[in-house]
Chains A and B, each alone.
Chain A
């Protein structure tokens, strides 16, 4: 940058646009002095926390890892629909980051990234900056509220929730269901794919129906799906709706909600207006805002293109992107985020020693959905790197459950326990 500090001071004295320098790179202090090789990880969800842990573990603690996370606690999105069904509380899904600090020596910085400078290899936060050798961005998703007229973050936090990041909105949605009179309508709107957790909305319909069946049997679950058909585990979800909740769940395909009226809890589709007692709208999604700070969302302006051997961004060298934010033919699931994180962690360690990363990454995904209080269904797949296509391609043999079962319901619970341990302990 040819603009000197003196020029900057002159410019600001003259009242010229200070906003052009996000993060106040000149004035800010280095939060943790960089000594040896360092990886900074932005975002402590399934992807980011796993990447942080495995870089420490697999580098024998030789590489310093700083993990930036804005939330004080980790809350699992997987299985959070069971909070709506009543099987779990949000506390059951909440874990501390302490073991990542104590056991692995990860330096945790609580805060929000305000800017990324790929040239200077610096991440800016409100109260200072951090330097890195390599940056891993695991920003999850953000919501495109502007695609649904009448919807915004404040409405989502107080009235028409998405509850698509587990936390306060999940608890609010549960309270709304509890307050709803018997005979009421719960409507969920699903955006066009790709979105986080493809089977999640259908699982949510099951969990709400499960709660209604026991507590408000005259009530109805209405699914407004912008997609032409059920996106995931179709036969299994339809069987659950027909057999477990007959007459309660109604599915409408090609029902894109473009507008909501907050006061009357009405969702407008191309065909009609749907009034609900509890309205739950998942807005279209894109890579989390941090991706935009370094211009990483190069696919449709929404998702981040990466090299699947390293998860290095197609836009900037030295910056890696993992998890739901990645543009790939991989499901946006918690297990996928951890698997991508490990491929990325292994590659980053090799790259920092000027060695070649693993040329044949092969990863698995197992995703459970709870269709009642104790029964689950799954989808499982192995994905391998295809050098010709430069893509992760589904291997032979993947598929879904033969039928829903209590056995799989039990496995779903153990899946949660084991994956949370793998990410955080």
Chain B
């Protein structure tokens, strides 16, 4: 009984790790489309803001403000409306984990 409970925990952890890896790849793929303007992995060379290593809370708040119109923009209010709140979180996690060049 104790044994199987331990196994359950182990399996649970393995499953979480596997699921986490998949989520990361989806986040990476989502973020990849941003790099035309914001540079590879969010390292913009000028003009558009650098997203690499950006604070997660800040990123999500900016996206929400773009969507609501609280932060005026030329383009980002349109892109922000195309993504879900859940996707904001994924993108924020990905960019927060990138090294700034």
Query: Which residues of A are in contact with B by a Cβ distance under 8 Å?
Result: 54, 58, 334-335, 338-339, 342-343, 346, 358, 360-364, 366, 378, 380-382, 384, 395-399, 401, 405, 407-408, 410-411, 413-415, 417-419, 421-422, 425
In angstroms, how far is the closest chain A Cβ from the Cβ of B25?
6
Interchain Cβ contacts under 8 Å between A and B, 13 examples:
A339-B32, A360-B26, A362-B33, A362-B87, A364-B34, A366-B79, A395-B83, A411-B47, A414-B47, A417-B46, A419-B37, A421-B45, A422-B39
Which size bracket describes the interface of B in this complex? 20 to 34
Contact count A vs B, C-beta below 8 Å: 109
For the complex, what is the distance from the CA of A339 to the CA of B29, rounded to whole Å? 9
Q: Please name 15 further chain A to chain B contacts, defined as beta carbons within 8 Å, in addition to the given A382-B79, A411-B74, sorted by A numbering.
A: A358-B25, A360-B26, A363-B33, A364-B33, A378-B75, A396-B81, A397-B77, A397-B82, A411-B75, A415-B36, A415-B48, A419-B36, A421-B39, A421-B40, A422-B36
| CB neighbors of A among B39-65 (8 A) | 39-40, 44-48
Q: Assuming A339-B32, A364-B33, A397-B81, is B74 touching A378 (CB within 8 A)? A: yes
Query: Which residues of B are in contact with A by a Cβ distance under 8 Å?
Result: 25-26, 28-30, 32-40, 44-48, 67, 74-75, 77-83, 87
Residue in B closest to A339 when the chains form the complex, CB atoms: B33
* Contact yes or no, B29 A346, CB < 8 A: yes
Residue in B closest to A46 when the chains form the complex, CB atoms: B36
* Contact yes or no, B38 A381, CB < 8 A: no
Leading 4 A-B pairs by shortest Cβ distance: A397-B81, A414-B47, A382-B82, A395-B82
For the complex, what is the distance from the CA of A417 to the CA of B78, rounded to whole Å? 22
* Contact yes or no, A380 B75, CB < 8 A: yes
For the complex, what is the distance from the CA of A401 to the CA of B25, rounded to whole Å? 32
Residue in B closest to A346 when the chains form the complex, CB atoms: B29
* Contact yes or no, A405 B29, CB < 8 A: no
